[in-house]
A and B are shown apart, each in its own frame.
Chain A
């Protein structure tokens, strides 16, 4: 997409996210050409949609599409994601059955079949009705995620690329985390400019300004890493991108919460919804903490640094 096409796409996605939710949103995204865009120019499509989705604090089935697309399977099916905090394939073959333990999106839970990767190279489609589904309450019931477990009869194996799917999912989630972080920063910024104490907006106090500045630094750092990852999309660059985005979200949560103070702690203010959302997004496909430690372990094991994107 060129700049004008990207703006146009962003405008239609924004409208879809504002007006629709649930199954209606999936249909609206189909109408604006999300699937074609993902196919033709994943970088533009994913960065645009997930950034906006993060900012708006809404969920969509788009992550399923990204994962299924990167697996190399046909889009439109649901897909089982690894249990929160993990990134191994969520299925295992045992006695001719597929044992499943993971999560699905609300859309995935509603699909007739879901794709279950059983190792890095193979997946099976299984009937959703054969699996146990349990909506996740947790810290963010609005995430729409559903626990899925059980054993099901498999279809014929499909060749897939699970590491590629994890990498693609991590990049998408990184954009969503950054979008949510930007929304938190904007809420805190507006509050700091409007809230008056000691006769002036609290935005004039250096302690407040520096918290917001620190948040912007964290967000822009993550943004730069994610952009670099699109230039050289590898498992390593995607893991670094998601870890950085999660780190930015944690920084944004902490500083913006403090700046928003009492009102940010209430359910009358939208801020708390973002705090809840990024806690769950951080866990999907590996948390910042887990990915950071994994990165360090790999470096120590190989006595080498991750590949460097040349100038």
Chain B
């Protein structure tokens, strides 16, 4: 299906099913409500076919360009039907399964993620492993028929809801660094897994600690080969910084529109508003080109760090502007729609931290794009 036709048909479907798709709660809602809403929208969109476009037929998709996925997420975020951060897990984890899981496993599992029957999480970061992913230490050792996993993960979004986890484990020596990492697909109800949500500044406990205590993982749940975990992690980046960022950008555009639409006369400084708008539109222009590169099969690499820096800067600038324009709503109101501004403002503080910090992105840009050589 062509993008233009997809856009028209999808928009028509979204209009026609607006009531069924709408959230049942005002404002931000609780995390339980957000996850339920996400799964509802995915299920309706999957059953109507929309959620299957842009995914390969061997995992229950209908084929077609990744642009269709980019537009679907944009349309859902623009209409405020999904929380784009939660939606991004699908966009990031399904390609991993398609590229690295054994074909039967991918075919069996991916549809349940796309349809919202299941939630998956991404077990990468650890207490001692933030920006330096190659240092991770959650250990998987060979056991009869597979692996035994012991260790801890942190910042694992939605682990308390997840049925599955794409987990990076240390299978080589610590000195083997990024060469000794293996990715596993783990059932979250396996004995030995404990999940503890972490209180977060924006009032949503979406990040978790996950403890693995002699957890058994069958051999056929290995993603790729033993020692290939670094490639699995690196191949996620193109999706994390293409379609997922595009969806977030669509959400920022919506929030900017809402701010302009609702702020009291005289509340918004024209120059500051113009400046934020430039940033939001610049991100969109940059990311749009990235979507087309992904669609044409181009390799996405270090240059997507620019997209990430632009989005994080735009997000913080937008909610800084909101704070100046509607300070009372953000600081002292408990109306559900104001709580949502507050949540978005506080969450935006993390935009330069998660998914590769602003400093790491600039290091990548300096080394890989500006060719400034190593920094040590």
Contact = CB atoms under 8 A, between A and B. Distances in A.
Given A212-B372, A303-B261, A311-B288, A296 B3 contact: no
A201 B289 contact: no
A189 B370 contact: yes
Interface string B161-185: 0000000000000000000000000
Task: Label chain A's interface by main secondary structure.
Answer: helix
B19 interface: no
Given A212-B372, A224-B289, A310 B366 contact: no
B190 interface: no
Nearest to B70: A311
B240 to A, nearest CB: 18
B370 A212 contact: yes
B366 A212 contact: yes
A228 B278 CA distance: 13
A247 B278 contact: yes
A20 interface: no
Contact of A216 (B256, B278, B306): B306
A204 B373 contact: yes
B245 interface: no
Contacts of B374: 204
Nearest to A221: B282
Given A224-B285, A309-B285, A204 B376 contact: yes
A214 interface: yes
A40 interface: no
Contacts of B285: 221, 224-225, 227-228, 309
Contacts of A210: 359, 362-363, 366
Given A210-B362, A225-B282, A217 B306 contact: yes
Contacts of B375: 204-206, 209
A221 B286 contact: yes
A44 B374 CA distance: 37
A23 interface: no
B260 A305 contact: yes
Measured as residues with beta carbon below 8 angstroms from the partner, the interface class of chain B is 35 or more
B270 A311 contact: no
Interface stretch (A66-74, A97-105, A112-120, A285-293): A285-293
B310 A213 contact: no
B363 A206 contact: yes
B365 interface: yes
Interface in A242-272: 243-244, 247
B99 interface: no
A292 B274 contact: yes
A250 to B, nearest CB: 12
Contacts of A193: 372-373
Nearest to B78: A308
B306 A220 contact: yes
Contacts of B306: 216-217, 220-221
A222 interface: yes
A296 B324 CA distance: 15
A224 B3 contact: no
A144 B306 CA distance: 36
A211 to B, nearest CB: 9
A220 B286 contact: yes
A209 B373 CA distance: 10
Contacts of B273: 295-296, 299-300
Nearest to A209: B366
A126 interface: no
B315 to A, nearest CB: 14
Interface residues of A, number: 44
- Of B282, B362, B373, chain A has the most CB atoms within 10 Å of the CB of B282
A306 B362 contact: no
- Of A240, A243, A311, chain B has the most CB atoms within 10 Å of the CB of A311
A294 interface: yes
A214 B256 CA distance: 24
A310 B288 CA distance: 9
A195 interface: no
A300 B370 contact: no
Given A193-B373, A300-B273, A227 B310 contact: no
B308 to A, nearest CB: 10
A240 B278 contact: yes
Interface string B22-47: 00000000000000000000000000
- Of A227, A293, A296, chain B has the most CB atoms within 10 Å of the CB of A296
A193 B282 CA distance: 30
A156 interface: no
Interface in B244-302: 246, 253, 256-257, 260-261, 268-275, 277-278, 281-286, 288-289, 291
Contact of B271 (A209, A212, A296): A296
A212 B366 CA distance: 7
- Of A213, A240, A244, A292, chain B has the most CB atoms within 10 Å of the CB of A213
Given A212-B372, A217-B306, A296 B274 contact: yes
B364 to A, nearest CB: 8
Interface string B77-114: 00000000000000000000000000000000000000
A213 B366 contact: yes
A292 B278 contact: yes
A19 to B, nearest CB: 30
Interface in A136-183: none
A189 B372 contact: yes
Contacts of B269: 296
11 contacts: A204-B373, A209-B370, A210-B362, A214-B362, A220-B306, A225-B282, A225-B285, A228-B284, A293-B270, A296-B273, A299-B277
Interface of B: 3, 7, 67, 70-71, 74, 246, 253, 256-257, 260-261, 268-275, 277-278, 281-286, 288-289, 291, 303, 306, 309-310, 359, 361-363, 365-367, 369-370, 372-376
Given A221-B286, A225-B278, A240-B278, 18 more contacts: A193-B372, A209-B375, A210-B359, A210-B366, A216-B369, A217-B306, A221-B282, A221-B283, A221-B310, A224-B286, A228-B285, A292-B278, A295-B273, A295-B277, A299-B277, A300-B260, A309-B284, A309-B285
Top 6 closest pairs, chain A to chain B, by CB:
A296-B270, A296-B274, A292-B274, A296-B273, A209-B366, A295-B274
